[in-house]
């Protein structure tokens, strides 16, 4: 008997979520743009509602949709790629990264304590600080790139249900030791949820490192073309059942729409190819910036100067992603001048698209934020965030060069 050969990650990105052929033999999964589903008869509908065998497979698109399910299977295949028991896991798609994150946290940490990384994505941080406590979830914040701090806080809060962090975090692209933290969580009976948006499963598979849940803004690298808003989450089926996460998604209502799910599945087919080029381009741009006389510091996990370079190198075998943060010597005015003079790079928030996106937090996203909060978040006046695209790298460098000639 032939032994089954495991497909490569690249093949899993293309075929990992494939469903059955439809009645027309459509090559790609159609966009099932439908709200509801027609039952054959009362029995079939009744069985579907009772989750019994032989019932209709679909009832209503807030509960499930074939196009959305293809995305869920694909993401699950990628996030569990290196595991021996992928069949025990499940993907769940959402209408945004924030819907995935909040539904995940609310269902898994209800009535308990959360230990969160201190420099999370802005909306996640705001949700945990301002909204979660009113829902009966207490939260403490620590620097998760320091294992000792995580351990101290777990001892201080023995009731901790969930530890939440980003595998690579803004703005300094901090890398947390997911494997070591997962071991700590296990010995303290807490779950570990990792936002893997910046890294993508191409670089880091948190579940393989021992995390319990991985969550994404699929708006970014997964979709990859800046065409949608979406979120995904992957965990063991058992955990989703225990936490009733599916019920929460159904009732909070944050499922992905079929069109966005389809765009994401289509984007995922080229994720490995795109990430390869993002890696190559970002490394060259980071090195070029590091040598530039108008640049004070460059944060990129692939540079030896990055404080977590060693850890990043041990986890990220294929490269270091497409995100770079750097600080201009000229401060605020230099940042504004750079933003107003780029031609190829788009002046925009978000990240992970095929085209290069640049933004200056001090004059844009964080312009109304208090000095103290900005300082705590590491947002200095000259800080620039660049999502390096997959254009020809010489064009990206030439654009930055000409735009930096104005200050």
Catalytic residue numbers?
62, 121, 195, 220
* Residue among 61, 219, 279, 380 that touches ligand PLP (CB under 6 A): 219
Tell me if 88 sits within 8 A of 235, measured CB to CB.
Answer: no
Q: Considering beta carbons, is residue 232 or 397 the nearer one to ligand PLP?
A: 232
Q: Does 171 bind ligand PLP (CB under 6 A)?
A: no
Cβ proximity to ligand PLP: between 98 and 338 the closer is 98
> Phi first, then psi: what are they for 114, rounded to 5°?
-120, 135
Q: Which segment (149-157, 212-220, 263-271, 291-299) binds ligand PLP by CB under 6 A?
A: 212-220
- How long, in residues, is the chain? 407
Q: Does 229 bind ligand PLP (CB under 6 A)?
A: yes
Q: Which is nearer to ligand PLP, 217 or 265 (CB)?
A: 217
Residues near 386 by beta carbon (within 8 Å), at least 6 away in sequence: 285, 323, 324, 325, 326, 345, 356, 357, 358
Strands 160-166 and 113-117: what pairing? parallel
61 touching ligand PLP, by CB under 6 A: no
With CB under 6 A as the contact rule, the residue among 220, 269, 278, 366 that binds ligand PLP is 220
Which span sits near ligand PLP by CB under 6 A: 120-128, 143-151, 331-339, 371-379? 120-128
Neighbour-count burial of 370, counting CB atoms closer than 10 A to its CB (0-12 exposed, 13-18 middle, 19+ buried): exposed
Cis peptide upstream of residue 171 (ω within 30 degrees of 0): yes
The helix or strand, by DSSP H or E, that contains position 23, with its residue range, turns out to be none
Point out which span in 72-80, 127-135, 191-199, 319-327 binds ligand PLP (CB under 6 A).
191-199
Q: Please tell me whether residue 226 binds ligand PLP under the rule CB under 6 A.
A: no
CB 199 within 8 A of CB 316: yes
The verdict on 102 binding ligand PLP (CB under 6 A) reads no
Query: Does residue 260 interact with ligand PLP by CB under 6 A?
Result: no
Both tokens of residue 333? 């005015």
If one asks whether residue 387 binds ligand PLP (CB under 6 A), the answer comes out as no
Q: Report the residue from 200, 217, 277, 279 that binds ligand PLP according to the rule CB under 6 A.
A: 217
Q: Let me know the angle formed at the C-alpha of 11 by 232 and 20, rounded to the nearest 5 degrees.
A: 70
CB of 338 to ligand PLP, least distance (A): 22
Of 62, 71, 106, the C-alpha closest to 92 is 71
Q: How far apart are CA 101 and CA 94, in angstroms?
A: 9
Binding site for ligand PLP (CB under 6 A): 96-98, 121, 123-124, 166, 195, 197-198, 217, 219-220, 229, 231
């Amino acid at each position: 008997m032939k032994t089954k050969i495991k497909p490569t990650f690249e093949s899993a990105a293309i075929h990992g979520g494939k469903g059955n052929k439809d009645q027309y033999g459509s090559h790609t999964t159609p966009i099932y743009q439908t709200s509801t589903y027609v039952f054959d008869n009362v029995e079939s509908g009744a069985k579907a509602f009772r989750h019994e065998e032989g019932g209709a497979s679909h009832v209503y698109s807030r509960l499930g949709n074939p196009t959305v399910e293809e995305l869920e299977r694909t993401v699950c295949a990628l996030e569990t790629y290196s595991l021996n028991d992928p069949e025990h896991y499940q993907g769940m798609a959402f209408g945004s990264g924030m819907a995935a994150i909040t539904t995940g946290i609310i269902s898994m940490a209800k009535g308990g304590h959360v230990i969160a990384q201190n420099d999370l994505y802005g909306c996640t941080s705001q949700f945990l600080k301002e909204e979660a406590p009113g829902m009966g979830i207490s939260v403490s914040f620590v620097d998760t790139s320091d294992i000792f701090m995580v351990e101290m806080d777990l001892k201080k809060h023995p009731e901790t249900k969930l530890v939440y962090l980003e595998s690579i975090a803004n703005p300094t692209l901090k890398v947390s030791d997911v494997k070591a933290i997962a071991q700590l969580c296990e010995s303290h009976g807490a779950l570990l949820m990792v936002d893997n948006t910046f890294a993508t499963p191409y670089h880091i598979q948190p579940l393989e490192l021992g995390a319990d849940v991985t969550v994404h803004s699929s708006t970014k690298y997964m979709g990859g073309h800046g065409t949608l808003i979406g979120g995904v989450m992957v965990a063991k089926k058992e955990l989703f059942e225990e936490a009733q996460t599916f019920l929460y998604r159904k009732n909070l209502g944050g499922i992905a729409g079929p069109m966005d799910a389809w765009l994401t599945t289509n984007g995922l087919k080229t994720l490995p190819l795109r990430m390869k080029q993002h890696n190559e381009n970002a490394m060259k741009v980071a090195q070029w910036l590091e040598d530039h006389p108008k640049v004070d510091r460059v944060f990129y996990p692939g540079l030896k100067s990055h404080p977590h370079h060693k850890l990043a190198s041990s986890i990220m075998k294929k490269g270091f992603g497409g995100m770079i943060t750097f600080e201009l010597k000229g401060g605020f005015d230099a940042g504004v001048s750079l933003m107003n003079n780029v031609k190829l790079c788009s002046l925009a928030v978000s990240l992970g698209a095929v085209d290069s996106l640049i933004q200056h937090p001090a004059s844009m996203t964080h312009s109304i934020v208090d000095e103290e909060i900005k300082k705590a978040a590491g947002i200095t006046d000259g800080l620039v965030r660049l999502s390096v695209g997959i254009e020809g790298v010489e064009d990206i460098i030439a654009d930055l060069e000409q735009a930096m000639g104005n200050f």
